[in-house]
Amino acid sequence: MIRNEGFEIIDTTLRDGEQSAGVVFSVEERMNIILALDKAKVKWIEAGIPAMGKQECEDLKLMLNLPIKSNLIAWNRANLEDLKASIDCGFKFVHVSLPVSDLHIEHKLQKSRTWVLDQLKKCMEYLQNYGVTIIIGAEDASRADPEFFLQYADIAASYGAIRIRYSDTVGCLDHFTTYRKIKEIADHNPLPVEIHAHNDFGLAVANTLAAYKAGAKFASVTVTGLGERAGNASMEETAFSLKRFYNYDCGIELEALPFLAEMVSRASERTLFPYKPVVGSLVSNL
């Protein structure tokens, strides 16, 4: 049996999960979710996007003052104004994200690969002045040239980033392809790889498990799988599957997950279906 020791879970319910159409958490709901995640011993929580404005920054400052052990992460686009907002809020863990596929670079950004690498360097140099821990995101990595992904990762590593997110942004991977791609990258990458899977084909958890077996060291998930389009890999299905199929304890209190799922379901006004894997009321064999 393959065990990937040190594999950790990152919750992004309050960032990617809230990007689900029609979902808006109040600040009280967000703080309660963070407290519940902390109680469940979730080590990493992507708390929000400071660049969204003054009120968002005020809310995030309240979250940063909560008496928790979890590490709160600010998500940022790769521009200095966004990064300044995160620094001003007081974040110590800062995620910086850029697209790495030619499709996104040319059609979304209307830039070049050279621009992406230069922008990454510019942001990393800026953040180094503030002593924060830097996490790098690679958007649309699943459709990117692997050589360019590694070039991007090399630069991030040279500036002290602690990990790189491999995003299947449009949810186009299956688990066999995920294993092959992550295995190839993990064997040559200077940074630990974080898998970020979307559930467009119902394969987000399967892809996350495939990445675990291929050598990824982190996975970003959301409670109930909440997220844009068909959502993300669900925390409860990922954590329970790691334990059930690989006897791997990812550090999360599994008994806390049904309560968390109910909490997020109510706050997001997304009904928790009785046949929902792991936490549905009709599921009782765990």
Tokens linked to 47: 């708390």
148 has pLDDT over 60: yes
CATH no., domain 8-268: 3.20.20.70
- The residue extents of the domains of the chain are 8-268
Q: Which of 117, 115, 119, 48 has the alpha carbon at shortest distance from 85?
A: 48
pLDDT at residue 43 in the model = 97
Q: What is the pLDDT of residues 60-71, one digit of tens each?
A: 999 999 999 999
Our CA angle for 42, 275, 255, nearest 5°, is 30
Q: What is the pLDDT of residues 13-71, one digit of tens each?
A: 999 999 999 999 999 999 999 999 999 999 999 999 999 999 999 999 999 999 999 99
Q: What is the DSSP string of 19-63?
A: GSTT----HHHHHHHHHHHHHTT--EEEEE-GGG-HHHHHHHHHH
Q: Which of 226, 228, 250 has the alpha carbon at shortest distance from 238?
A: 250
Tell me the C-alpha to C-alpha distance, in Å, between residue 189 and each of 164, 192, 217. Answer: 9, 7, 12
* Alpha-carbon span 141 to 181, nearest angstrom: 10
Backbone phi and psi for residue 84, each to the nearest 5 degrees, phi listed first: -60, -40
Q: What is the pLDDT of residues 192-212, one digit of tens each?
A: 999 999 999 999 999 999 999
Backbone phi and psi for residue 53, each to the nearest 5 degrees, phi listed first: 135, 180
Task: Report residue 10's pLDDT band, with 50, 70 and 90 as the boundaries.
Answer: very high
Asked if 274 contacts 281 with a C-beta cutoff of 8 angstroms, the reply is yes
- Region 67-81: mean pLDDT is 98
b/e 220-231 (16+ beta carbons within 10 angstroms → b): bbbbbbbbbeeb
State the pTM of this model. Answer: 0.95
Q: To which H or E segment does residue 180 belong? A: helix 175-186
